[in-house]
Each structure stands twice: as C-alpha cells, then as structure tokens.
Structure 1
Amino acid sequence: MEEEGSLSLSDPETNLTNVEITDDKGWDTDLESEDGNRNYDNTGKATYMEACKKGGVVPVTYFIKHMNDSNLQLRHHGLGPMGTKAVSVALVSNTNVLKLDLSDNWLGPSGGHSVCEMLKENCYITELNLSDNKLGTESAKDLSDIIQNSNTLTHITLSGNDLDDKAAEHIAEAIMNTQKLEFLDLSQNKLGEVGGVLLGPAISENSSIKEMNLSWNCIRAKGAVAVAQGIKNNVFMKKINLDWNGFGNEGAIALGDALKGNSVLEELDISNNRINTEGAVLFGKGLMVNESLKVLKIGMNPMQSAGCFAILTAVLKNPNNILHTLDFSRILVNTDFLDLLKQVQETFPELKCHHGGMEIFEMPEIKVHPMVKIDRFLEEQNLRLIDFFCRFDEDHSMSVTHEEFAQGMRDSGINMTEDDIQLLLGELDRDGDGEVNYSELVVGFKKFIEDRKKLAGVIKQMKAQTDAKYKY
C-alpha cells in the first residue's frame, strides 16, 4: 500500500512518459536554463525538479549537476525516503548512469522500495551501493526480486543495513537464482547462525557470484559449517571475506574440509574468528592439498605462534601450493616460527607473510633477599655487622625499635624497599617485643649465610650428578 502523500513510480503523475513541463511560473531556481525551453527533457533534470516539487523535498544541486555521470556518487546527502523517490523517478529512463552510490542516505524501507522500483525499468545501472541506509528486513523481498530478475546488475553492496536471519530467507533465494550478479557485500549486518544455515546451500548452488563479503556478522556454529559447505561445493566464487564472525574451531574444521574439495577459491579471509591453536592445526589439513588458494588472511585469532607454525607446516607439505600472501596480523610469533618461515620461503620464494612481530618474554624480576643486600653492603663498605648496627643505635643500648631499624635501613644507602624492611623485621624480631637487638641481627644474619651455603652445596651436587648421567 502506498503511503499517503508519497510518490509512486507507477503513478501517472510521476511517470516519466506522462510528465509535462510547460509552465515555469512559481518554480524559478538558479539552476534552470536561461532560454526556459523544457518541452523536451533530454537530461532528466525537469523530471527531477517536478518530482521534488510534488514530494515537497529540496532538490539536491549535486545530483542535478552530475545526474548524467557514468559513476554517480550520491553518498552522505541525507536524501531520506522522499528525496530518494525523486531521484529514482529521474533515473527511470537515464541511460548514462552505470554505477550508482546511494550509501548513507537514510533511505529506510520506503526509499529502498523506490530504488527497486526504478531498477525494474532502468536497464543500464550495473553497480549499486546501498550501504548504511537502514533498509532492514522489510526491504529484503524487494532487493531479492531485483537481484533475481535484473539483467544488468552485477555488483550490489548492502552492508550496514540491519539485515537479519529473517532477511536471509530472501537473500538466500536471490543468491541461489541470480544469473548476473558477480559481487555481493552483506557485511556489517545481523546475520546469525540461522542466516548462515540459509545462505550455505544458496552459496553452494550459485553460478555467477565471484566475490562475496559476509564479514562483521554473527555467523557461527551450524551457520559457519553450512557456509563452509557452500564454499566447498561452489565452483565459481574466487574471493570470500568471512572475518569478524566467530566461526571458531568448528567452522575452521569445516573450512579446512572445504579447501580440500574447492579448486577455484583464490582468496579467503577468516581473520578474528575465535580460531585457536587446535582449530589452526585442523584447518591446515585443507591447505596440505589445496591448489587454488592465493591469499589467506587468518590474523587476530587466538591461535598463538603454535597455530601459525601449524599453518606454515601445512603449506610446506603441499608441493602444489600457490599461496603468495599469508597474513597472521596481530599474532605474536617466536623464533621457531621464524625459522620455519625462512624454510618455507626458500621453497616458495613468492610467498609474502605478515605477522604481529616477535613475542617479547619479560624476565620475571628476581627477588634479592634483603640479607643479601646487607651482606653486599658490608663487603663494599668494609664494615663489620656491629659497626653497621651502631649507625642507627643512637643510644648505644644495642637494641632499636622497629621504627628506628626501618629508618636506619632507609638512611643506610642500601637499596631497600618497604617490603624488604618488613621482611627483615619479621625474621629478626623473633620474640615479638617490638624491638630488634644486636644479638637477633647476628643470629638472623648467620643463619641466612649458612642456609645459602647449604643451598649452593645442594645445587652443586645436583649439577655434578646431572653431568655424570649425560656424559658420553
């Protein structure tokens, strides 16, 4: 049902063949020709102006100036549903525009319908971009009909249009039946597991699409497996982007199996799909036998260096491998990987590999016991333990409080942390009277030195036993 006050492309008042422009009174603009001769509208300008007038929208100057460009860029113009209707009316019989970009214009379902109605009549537009227009599920049926029935449309971009699993029913039908479409972008929508289940068989049967973008959706589990199976059976598609979905290991296994059976796919992007090391190993089995893949992007997956190593190993084991680009972006690798990569590139010199750089292993901070610090300080300063103690035993009572001891440690110049000081106080004040006397310091110091000597002796003995065991 037509909205009240809206334009219909089939309405006699807005149909190109019925529009008569003979009176300019009341509609003067600085865009009109000086001679005022508009009886024959060979550009579509008069049709557009009249459609804008009837729809109550302001004409877009850019469109009027460029409406006969072969590549018409109308993105970010805020057309809205009614503005889109006016543009569509003007493009019905346009024979110059071959590529039309209407992205980010808030078309909504109504504006989407207008474009689809126009495409039923226009047989010249081959590439259409309707991304970021909030078309929603309501537009899916119209879009599906156009994709299936158009004899000229070869490229269509529908990213960012809130197309969900319900819309996938119509999209799957379009993919299965189209004979002309070569490029389809469905990225950044809301296609989930059910959507994947519906799209998989359609991909399997399609015989025209060479490139498809399903990135930034929520295809996972059974949906991921179905899409992978569709790729396995498809014999026309050259490139598919599946990044940012969530295929996981289940999807990785299915994609590995797809690579075994597919002999035409040349580029595959499965970046950021929750594929871990195990998934990478199983996916790699497909790479061992595949002879068509040229570009593999598998970065930003939690497979770590071990997973990357498994992929490289699979490539090395395939004598018929033709990969020239292997992308492990944002995955840190180790020396084992780099050594293998060198070997792989010697075998396949055309292969370019990208990764996230070397793993940086930060050595854990070695904790030095504060008694060791005191021992080193005494040796460096050539001091006796009693001389050291007397430095902060101001009343020469041979006993200091916790506060005096702590302050003495701070003032001594020894690199002592507060944790070091508290550790010493806990070990030296054995009677818990809140003070550390000289005898407690001597006993504690000697005990630590003796324990350290014993530990050194045990380590020396163990090393000797190990050397004897493995000596040839």
Structure 2
Amino acid sequence: ARRPGELGEDTLYLRSCRAHSVVPASCFLRQGSAPELSLRHRGLGPQGAWALAHALTSNPYVKRLDLRDNGLCGAGAEALAGALSKTRSICDVDLSENRLGAEGARAICAALVVSPAVQRVQLAGNGLEEQAAQYLAELLLAHTGLKSLDLSYNQLNDQAGLTELNVRWNHLRGPGAIAFARGLEANIFLRVLDISYNGCGDSGASAVGEALKTNNVLEELYMSNNRISEAGALNLGLGLRVNQTLRILADIQVNREFDDLASSVKVILPGLCIKTAARRVEYKKELLAIFRPSE
C-alpha cells in the first residue's frame, strides 16, 4: 500500500522519465502530492528537468518547488518554464546554483511574467551577467505580484544595471498600464524606459508618479503619445518632488499652471531635461527644482 503523499507507479512522471531515458527521482514519487517538493542536489540535468516539467504541468498540489543545484542549465530552464507558465499552484521557486545563464534567465523570466501565482523566486549563483539583466528588468516591471527575488552570487555588476527597455507601440492601458507603472517601484536595473505610443492615460501617469517617489534608479523616461492630459502630467510631476535620479522626462503635455510652476523655482539640480509635447519646449536647467521642497 502507498503511504500518504506518494504517487502511484503508473504516473505521468514515470512515463515522462521513460520517454526521456532518465532515472526517476524517488523523492518525487514520495513527495509528488505534498505542498513542498524538494529535489535539491539530485543531479536532474536538462533531461530530468523535461521529465519533471511534464509532471508538474498537471500537478495541482505543489506550492513550493526547490530545485537548487541540479545542473539544469539553459535547456532545463526552458523545460521548467513551460510548466511554470501553465501551473496555477506553484508560488515559491528555488532555481539557485543551476548554471542557468542568460538563456535560462530569459526562459524563466518569460514564464514568470505570465505566472501571477509565483511570488518568490531564488536565482542565486547562476552566472547571470549583463545580458540577463534585461530579462530580469522586464520581469520586475511586468510581474507586480512578485514579492521576493534572490539574485545573490551572480555577476550583475554596475554595467548590468545600465539597462534600457523600449516597449513603444504596445497595448499598455488601463489596469495593465497601472500595474506596469507600479513595477517601477521594484526596479533595480532600468536606467532608461521608453513607454511611448501606448495608452497609459492619466491613471497610468499618476501611477508612474507614485512609482517615481520610491524609484531611485531610473534616469530617463519617455512617455509620448499616451493620452496624458495636463492633469495627468501634474500628477506625474508630484513624483518628481521625491525622486532623486531622473534626469530626462520627455514628451508630456503641459498647461500654463505647469509652465508657471516650472518657471517659479530655479534652485535645485540643474541639468534636468524635460521635453513637453505641447510646444516641444526643452528645459535644460533647474526644472526639477519646482517639484522638490526646499531643504
């Protein structure tokens, strides 16, 4: 008789193992119906990952998946990405020490973007460098439900942080635009963001303004053709009262209230460039001062 939590002999996992010519992990058979599946240090490799991925796709029990140190590499990450993009049960994933590299990071990040259930991800010690930073930045912007991301013991140096994301001509509008904007609050990579030609509107602009209050990384922001009225621009400006890093804010609508306010104070931080869509006026000096309270 099987013990509680054990899977039967004729399971999808066993069939997948046979199909991929890999030895089944006995601990999966013991834990397959448990909420936590720990397979760390099992040497699964890419083929083992494929077998496991097929089983996870139809497994509604596993909440936490621990695959630390299994030599998954990029190919194994691609296999698991397919499962992560389909499952609605897994909320905690540990893929540390698997030599994922840039391709593995690309696959996992793409899967997590469409996996709102996942809230905690560990990618420590995977040799992630500058190329992987782009995928990670996109993940942080798109997955606003992500609560914890461990990137320790990688090679994400200062250069990896100098990342530019161009999402012009997409369909960011309404709740999606607000969620995307809120992702800026957790951004640790992006220096340049272009979200022009979307449909952010005033609500999206206000959300960006809120994000700018806590974001301390972004330096250039382009928002032309987003249906932002003067009211939205003013709400966006409120974020600049607190933000300390933004140097360029381009292509926003202004009205006289905004313009008069911009001209009234010229004290703090010369060098900020704001281009307005209304008259294409380029303010090259001191504009940021108007949004920041005096010391």
TM-score, normalised to structure 1, is 0.35
Distance 1:206 1:80, change over 3 A: farther
For residues 214-247 of structure 1, give each alpha carbon's deviation from its aligned partner in whole angstroms, at most 9, with x where no partner exists.
8xxxxxxxx8999xxxxx936499xxxxxxxxxx
Amino acid at match of 2:154: N
Q: Deviations over 1:428-470 (max 9, x none)?
A: xxxxxxxxxxxxxxxxxxxxxxxxxxxxxxxxxxxxxxxxxxx
1:183 to partner: Cα distance? 1.1
**Structure of greater relative contact order (alpha carbons < 8 Å, 6+ residues apart):** 2
Secondary structure of the residue aligned to 1:128 is strand
* CA spacing shift, 1:43–1:139, aligned 2, 3 Å: same
Displacement after TM superposition at 1:144 (Å): 2.1
Identity, % of aligned positions: 30
Deviation at 1:190, TM superposition (A): 1.2
Which residue identity does 1:66 align to in structure 2? Q
Q: Which one of 90, 93, 96 corresponds to residue 55 of structure 2?
A: 90
Residues 105/210 of structure 1: CA separation in 2 closer, same or farther (3 Å cut): farther
Contact 2:125 2:153 in 1 (8 A): yes
Q: How does 1:335-346 map to 2 (within 5 A)?
A: none
Q: Which has the higher strand share?
A: 2
Corresponding residue of 2:115: 150
**Cα distance between partner residues in 2 of 1:174 and 1:181:** 9
Assess, with a 3 A threshold, how the Cα gap between structure 1 residues 112 and 92 changes in structure 2: closer, same or farther: same
Alpha-carbon contact 1:136-1:161 (below 8 Å) kept: yes
Give 5+ residue unaligned stretches, structure 2. Answer: 167-179, 193-210, 217-240, 244-295
Q: What is the DSSP-based 3-state SS (H/G/I as helix, E as strand, rest coil) of the residue aligned with 2:152?
A: coil
The Cα offsets for residues 71-94 of structure 1, whole Å up to 9 and x where unpaired, read as: 111111111111111111111111
Residues of 2 paired with 1:209 and 1:124: CA distance? Answer: 26
**Aligned counterparts of 2:15 and 2:28: Cα–Cα separation in 1:** 14
Matches within 5 A, 1:93-112: 93-112=58-77
Aligned residue number for residue 207 of structure 1: 182
Kindly state the Cα deviation for residue 70 of structure 1 after the two structures are TM-superposed.
Answer: 0.6
Give the structure 1 partner of residue 212 of structure 2: 233
Q: CA deviation at 1:163?
A: 1.0
| 2:146 equivalent among 178, 181, 204 | 181
TM-score by length of 2: 0.55
Q: Deviations over 1:52-86 (max 9, x none)?
A: 11111111111110111111111111111111111
| 2:12 match | 47
* Distance across 2 between alignment mates of 1:182 and 1:170: 17
Q: Is the 8 A contact 2:141 2:181 kept in 1?
A: yes
Q: How far off is 1:121 after superposition?
A: 1.7
CA displacement at 1:189 relative to structure 2: 0.9
Instruction: Please give the alpha-carbon distance, in whole angstroms, between the structure 1 residues aligned to 2:115 and 2:10.
Output: 25
Over 3 Å counting, the alpha-carbon distance change for 1:62 and 1:42 in structure 2 is: closer
Deviations 1:3-39 (A, max 9, x none): xxxxxxxxxxxxxxxxxxxxxxxxxxxxx96xxxxxx
Contact between 2:109 and 2:135, CA under 8 Å: does it hold in 1?
yes
Contact 2:12 2:54 (C-alpha < 8 Å) held by counterparts: yes
Instruction: Name the CA distance, whole Å, in 1 between partners of 2:160 and 2:16.
Output: 38
Distance 2:213 2:72 in 1: 33
Higher helix share: 1
Q: Which amino acid aligns with 1:207?
A: R
Match of 2:273 in 1: none
Deviation of the 1:193 alpha carbon:
2.2
CA contact (8 A) 1:80 1:107 kept: yes
Quick one: which of 124, 131, 140 aligns to 1:166?
A: 131
1-structure distance, mates of 2:153, 2:145: 24
The one-letter code of the counterpart of 1:184 is L
Partner of 1:74: 39
Give the direction of change, closer, same or farther, for the CA distance of 1:89–1:225 in structure 2 (3 Å limit): closer
CA distance in 2, matches of 1:181, 1:42: 31
Tell me the equivalent position of 2:161: 196
Separation in structure 2 between the aligned mates of residue 207 and residue 44 of structure 1, nearest angstrom: 46
Structure with the greater alpha carbon radius of gyration: 1
The 1:199/1:261 distance shift into structure 2, 3 A limit, reads farther
Question: How many residues get paired?
Answer: 187
| 175-184 vs 122-131, greater mean Cα deviation | 175-184
1:225–1:171 Cα change, 3 Å = closer
Q: Aligned with 2:37: secondary structure? A: strand
Q: Secondary structure at the match of 1:207?
A: helix
Structure 1 unmatched runs, 5+ = 1-31, 34-40, 215-222, 227-231, 238-259, 263-472
Alignment correspondent of 2:203: none
Q: Aligned pair in 2 of structure 1 residues 210, 67: CA closer, same or farther (>3 Å)?
A: farther
